[in-house]
Amino acid sequence: MALSLFNTLSLKVEPFTPSDGNTVRMYSCGPTVYNYAHIGNLRTFTFNDTLRRWLRYRGFVLNHVMNITDVEDKIIRKSMELGIPMGEYTSKYEKYFLEDMATMRFEKPEQIVRATEHIHEMVDLIETLQSKGFTYDSDGSVYYRISKFAEYGKLSHHDFSGIQAGARVDNDEYEKDNARDFVLWKARKGEEPYWDAPFGAGRPGWHIECSAMAMKYLGDTLDIHTGGVDLAFPHHENEIAQSEAASGKPFARFWVHCEHLHVDMQKMSKSIGNIFTLRDLVELGHTPEALRLLLMSVPYRKKLNFTLDSLKGSQTSIDRLRNYKLRLETAKLEEGTNEEISKLCDLALEKFEASMDDDLNTAEALAAIFEFVRETNSLLDEDRFLEGNRAPALELLARFDSVFDILKLTEVEGKLGDDAIEALIAERSSAKKTKQFARADEIRNQLLDAGIILEDTKDGVRWKRK
C-alpha cells in the first residue's frame, strides 16, 4: 500500500507521491513568535513531525521549509507596548519555540526561515503582482484585488463571487464572511517598524511572506503545504491567490490541515484561562513524551480534547511500552522460534504500516502495537516466547519508535527536576513490587548517572544530589 493523504483542495484522500523524483518539497506555516507556543500550536507541529517522519519511513527525502513569522500585527502591538525593538522581542520567543521543538523531539525542518529576512523577495513578488494587474494602491498601501483571481475560494470551498468589489481589509486575520481585498503592503504608520519599497515605506501583510519564501526555496509548485485548520482561510486561500497569479502554475499539490486541540471540550482561549504551554505541563510533573503521545493518539483530522487525566493515561501507556521493551531486552528465553509469535509480529507491522499509510491513522497504528504487546506479554508469562522471536519484536518496536519517538527517557538538559526524580522513584518502587528488578535497577542507574543518590530506608526512599 502507498501513502494517501486527505487533500483540502479536492476534499478527497489521494495517493501521494512527489512530483519530481524522490524528494518531497514541503512547506509548513510556522509560529508567530509573540508568545510561548501553546499545546494547540504544538498539536499542529506534532502533526508536521509525524508527516515528516512517515514520509522518511517510506523512503522519501525531504526538503521541508518552515517559516518564522517575526513581523505581524500582534508582534508590533506587543513590542511597542513594552517599548522594546521588535527583533529583540521576537528573538526571545523564537528561542523558546526552538527549545520547545527540541523538547518535543520534533525533527528540524531542513530550512527554518524568518519573514524579516525575506522582505526583498516579498517586494519582488508584490511588484510581479502589480505588473500583472492583480493589485491596486490606496493611501500608500497595496491591496490584492480578489475579484481578479477567478479561482479565489477554491481551497476553502466558498463562493466569494457576490462580495462587494473594492472593499478591503488591513487586518492579517479575518473570517470567511468578512472576505475583502487583502493587504500586501501596509503603508508606514507612526512609530511602527518599516522598510523602504518602490511603492513606499511600510511593512508586508502577513500572507505574502509564505508565498515568497515557499517559492524561493521550493519552486513554483510544492508537493505539500501544511498548517492548522484555522489557516485554510484566509491565509492559505490568499497564498494561493498570490502565488498562482504570479507564476501561472498551481502553488501546492496537497494541502493538509491539522484539526484543533480543545481543552475540557472548550476552545483554548486566554479569556477562559485554559491555555497550557509545554512548560506549564512539565512544571506540573508531566513529561514531554506524554504530551507527544497524547497529541499523536488521535488522527490529525479529528478534534482532540485535552485533559490532564488523558495526559496521565498517555504516561501509563508509555511506561507499559518501556517496561515491555526492557522485558524483551533482558528476559531469559529458550532457544527456537515460536511461529505463532512470528506471525503476530508480521501482522502487527503490516497493520501499523497500513494504518499510517491511510492518511496517518495514528490511532490504529498505536492499537496494532498495543495489541501485539498485550498478546506477547501473556506469551512471555507462559514461557512460550522464544529467543528467535526477540530480535523481530525489538525491530517492530524500533520501527514504531522511529515515528512515535516516546520510548527513550527525557533528561531535562542533563539534569532531572525534583518532580521527574520523584516520578522515577515511584516507578522504581512499583517495579520492585511487581518484581521487575531489571527495570528498578535501570532507574537507579539512570538516577545515578544524573547525579542522584538513592537511599532505601525503613521509612521509604530518600534521595540527594551528589
Residues in contact with ligand AMP by the rule CB under 6 A? 29, 31-32, 40-41, 43-44, 227-228, 230-231, 258, 260-261, 268
Smallest distance from the beta carbon of 91 to ligand AMP, in angstroms?
Answer: 16
Residue whose C-alpha cell is 476534499: 11
Q: Which alpha helices (H) appear in 83-222, and where do they start and end?
A: 86-103, 119-131, 207-218
User: Residue 167 phi/psi, 5° resolution?
Assistant: -75, 140
Smallest distance from the beta carbon of 85 to ligand AMP, in angstroms?
Answer: 20
Q: Which residues touch 101 (CB under 8 Å, ≥6 apart)?
A: 45, 108
Contact 22, 60 (CB under 8 A): yes
Interface with Zn ion (CB under 5 A), residue total 2
- The nearer residue to ligand AMP, 30 or 153, going by C-beta atoms, is 30
Smallest distance from the beta carbon of 306 to ligand AMP, in angstroms?
Answer: 9
- The nearer residue to Zn ion, 213 or 424, going by C-beta atoms, is 213
For 367, what's the count of Cα atoms within 13 Å in the CB-facing half-sphere?
10
Segment lying near Zn ion (by CB under 5 A), choices 176-184, 203-211, 319-327, 400-408: 203-211
In the region spanning residues 379 to 408, those forming contacts with Zn ion, defined by CB under 5 A, are none
Q: Which of 5, 42, 122, 210 binds Zn ion (CB under 5 A)?
A: 210
Burial environment of residue 285 by CB neighbours within 10 A (0 to 12, 13 to 18, 19 or more): middle
Smallest distance from the beta carbon of 169 to ligand AMP, in angstroms?
Answer: 18
Q: Does 252 bind Zn ion (CB under 5 A)?
A: no
- The nearer residue to ligand AMP, 258 or 450, going by C-beta atoms, is 258
Question: Which cell numbers in the block locate residue 150?
Answer: 477567478
Binding partner of residue 210 among ligand AMP, Zn ion, none, CB cut-off 5 to 8 Å per kind = Zn ion
Smallest distance from the beta carbon of 260 to Zn ion, in angstroms?
Answer: 17
CA distances from 295 to 42, 44, 49, 270, 402 (A): 8, 9, 11, 21, 16
- The nearer residue to ligand AMP, 228 or 288, going by C-beta atoms, is 228
Smallest distance from the beta carbon of 29 to Zn ion, in angstroms?
Answer: 3
Smallest distance from the beta carbon of 217 to Zn ion, in angstroms?
Answer: 13
Residue whose C-alpha cell is 525489538: 394
The C-alpha atoms of residue 427 and residue 291 are separated, in whole angstroms, by 19
- The nearer residue to ligand AMP, 49 or 442, going by C-beta atoms, is 49
Q: Does 29 bind Zn ion (CB under 5 A)?
A: yes
Residue whose C-alpha cell is 528488578: 437
- The nearer residue to ligand AMP, 31 or 109, going by C-beta atoms, is 31
- Please list, residue by residue across 40-77, b when 16 or more beta carbons sit within 10 angstroms of its beta carbon and e when fewer do: bbbbbbbbbbbbbbbbbeeebebbbbbbbbbbbbebbe
Residue 364 burial (CB count, 10 A):
15
Question: Which cell numbers in the block locate residue 261?
Answer: 486541540
Q: Which residue is nearest to ligand AMP (CB)?
A: 228
Burial environment of residue 182 by CB neighbours within 10 A (0 to 12, 13 to 18, 19 or more): buried
Smallest distance from the beta carbon of 71 to ligand AMP, in angstroms?
Answer: 13
Q: Which residues touch 363 (CB under 8 Å, ≥6 apart)?
A: 297, 298, 299, 355
Contact 428, 441 (CB under 8 A): no
- The nearer residue to Zn ion, 7 or 69, going by C-beta atoms, is 69
- The nearer residue to ligand AMP, 62 or 68, going by C-beta atoms, is 68
The C-alpha atoms of residue 291 and residue 289 are separated, in whole angstroms, by 5
Binding partner of residue 261 among ligand AMP, Zn ion, none, CB cut-off 5 to 8 Å per kind = ligand AMP
Segment lying near Zn ion (by CB under 5 A), choices 24-32, 191-199, 291-299, 413-421: 24-32
- The nearer residue to ligand AMP, 111 or 274, going by C-beta atoms, is 274
Binding partner of residue 153 among Zn ion, ligand AMP, none, CB cut-off 5 to 8 Å per kind = none
Chain residues binding Zn ion by CB under 5 A are 29, 210
